[in-house]
């Protein structure tokens, strides 16, 4: 059994997105319920939930954007930058809590307090760009975590594996010019799935050339297609890179029940994908792995997939 951290806090449900918005507080309620029912929450060690130091945010995001985000919340705006990115007056502080918690999770792993962790945070982060919000995301949590590992812990080879059905554009753009992060994303093909980036030809720029790997999946790709992508593309790239830390951007919206994209993964797919990443972490970096919730909008599919993900982290 691994020592697994869990970053659960009811305050992440206080980010209100309004009626009919798929990225809703009930997602975390469904996750909390299933983890409690299966006694997985008590098997995990709680991760400290605390607001991020703004210096860490400004390493990833432009200060003028963050100020704009703060003011939009303070003045009661319904969204920031795009109508998808719905906010409420509390969103700014909750986003700071989520980002701080992402950093606390990697710190706890580096301190040896836990082996791995799952962070069901809201708002999500991987679409957030340097200077603007996109796709429900305001602060890029996983980018802050990777930056922490580089700046504070001195690591030089971080793997970010993003299996959310949407391309992690913000994360890719943050690190595309550095070899210190290998960004691998499996997502619905950009010609038919938001945000329209993540083509195979995007392989990184400058010193980061070759350290971005996009694997666009065609409509109705299923478990077999994902297994082939892991075998043929994901694993060879990771073996060459030999990461010192594994970060997983775990959206659960490639599930066949999910309403946002036409990819047909099963709940069980999230079990073996977790096992694969746990195995990579064991072979290369002493089991060090932290995963972050991104999407996942069918409550039952999300809850079941998350439960399996956490079970497999505990089994590591």
Cα dihedral 20, 10, 163, 223 sign: negative
Residue closest to Zn ion when measured from CB atoms: 295
Task: List C-alpha distances in Å: 282 to 41, 181, 279.
Answer: 23, 18, 5
Residues 6 or more apart whose CB falls under 8 angstroms from that of 132 comprise 65, 81
User: Taking Cα atoms as reference points, which of 191, 193, 195, 199 lies closest to residue 170?
Assistant: 195
In terms of CB distance, is 110 or 260 closer to Zn ion? 260
In terms of CB distance, is 5 or 295 closer to Zn ion? 295
To the nearest 10°, the Cα dihedral for 87, 93, 97, 99? 60
**What distance in Å separates the CA atoms of residue 142 and residue 73, rounded to the nearest whole number?**
22
> C-beta of 164: minimal distance to Zn ion in Å?
4
Q: Is 292 helix (H, G, I), strand (E, B) or coil?
A: strand
> C-beta of 151: minimal distance to Zn ion in Å?
27
Per the annotation, the verdict on 298 as an active-site residue is no
> C-beta of 58: minimal distance to Zn ion in Å?
26
> C-beta of 253: minimal distance to Zn ion in Å?
4
Instruction: Select which of 127, 166, 167, 255 is catalytic.
Output: 127
DSSP structural state of residue 137: B
In terms of CB distance, is 243 or 295 closer to Zn ion? 295
> C-beta of 165: minimal distance to Zn ion in Å?
5
Contacts with Zn ion by CB under 5 A lie at 164, 166, 251, 253, 295
In terms of CB distance, is 202 or 258 closer to Zn ion? 258
**What distance in Å separates the CA atoms of residue 274 and residue 257, rounded to the nearest whole number?**
19
Task: List C-alpha distances in Å: 224 to 51, 138, 234, 265, 312.
Answer: 41, 34, 14, 9, 20
In terms of CB distance, is 3 or 166 closer to Zn ion? 166
Which active-site residues does the annotation give?
A: 127
């Amino acid at each position: 059994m691994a020592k697994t951290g869990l970053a659960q806090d009811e305050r992440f449900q206080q980010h209100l997105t309004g009626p009919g918005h798929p990225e809703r507080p009930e997602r975390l309620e469904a996750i909390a319920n299933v983890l409690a029912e299966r006694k997985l929450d008590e098997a995990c060690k709680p991760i400290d939930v605390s607001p991020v130091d703004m210096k860490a945010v400004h390493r990833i995001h432009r200060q003028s954007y963050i100020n704009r985000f703060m003011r939009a919340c303070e003045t009661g705006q319904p969204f920031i930058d795009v109508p998808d990115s719905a906010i409420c007056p509390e969103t700014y502080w909750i986003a700071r809590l989520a980002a701080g918690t992402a950093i606390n999770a990697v710190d706890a792993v580096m301190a040896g307090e836990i082996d791995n962790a799952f962070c069901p945070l809201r708002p999500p982060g991987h679409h957030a760009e340097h200077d603007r919000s996109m796709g429900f995301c305001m602060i890029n949590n996983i980018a802050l975590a990777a930056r922490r590992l580089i700046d504070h812990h001195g690591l030089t080879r971080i793997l970010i594996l993003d299996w959310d059905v949407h391309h992690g554009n913000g994360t890719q753009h943050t690190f595309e010019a550095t070899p210190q992060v290998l960004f691998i994303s499996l997502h619905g093909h950009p010609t038919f799935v938001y945000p329209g980036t993540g083509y195979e030809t995007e392989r990184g720029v400058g010193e980061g050339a070759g350290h971005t790997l996009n694997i666009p999946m065609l409509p109705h790709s299923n478990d077999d297609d994902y297994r082939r992508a892991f075998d043929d593309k994901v694993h060879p790239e990771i073996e060459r890179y030999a990461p010192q830390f594994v970060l997983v951007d775990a959206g659960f919206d490639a599930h066949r029940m999910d309403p946002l994209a036409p990819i047909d993964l099963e709940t069980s797919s999230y079990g073996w994908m977790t096992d694969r990443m746990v195995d990579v972490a064991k072979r290369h970096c002493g089991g060090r792995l932290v995963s972050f919730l991104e999407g996942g909008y069918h409550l039952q599919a999300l809850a079941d997939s998350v439960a399996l993900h956490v079970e497999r982290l505990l089994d590591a």
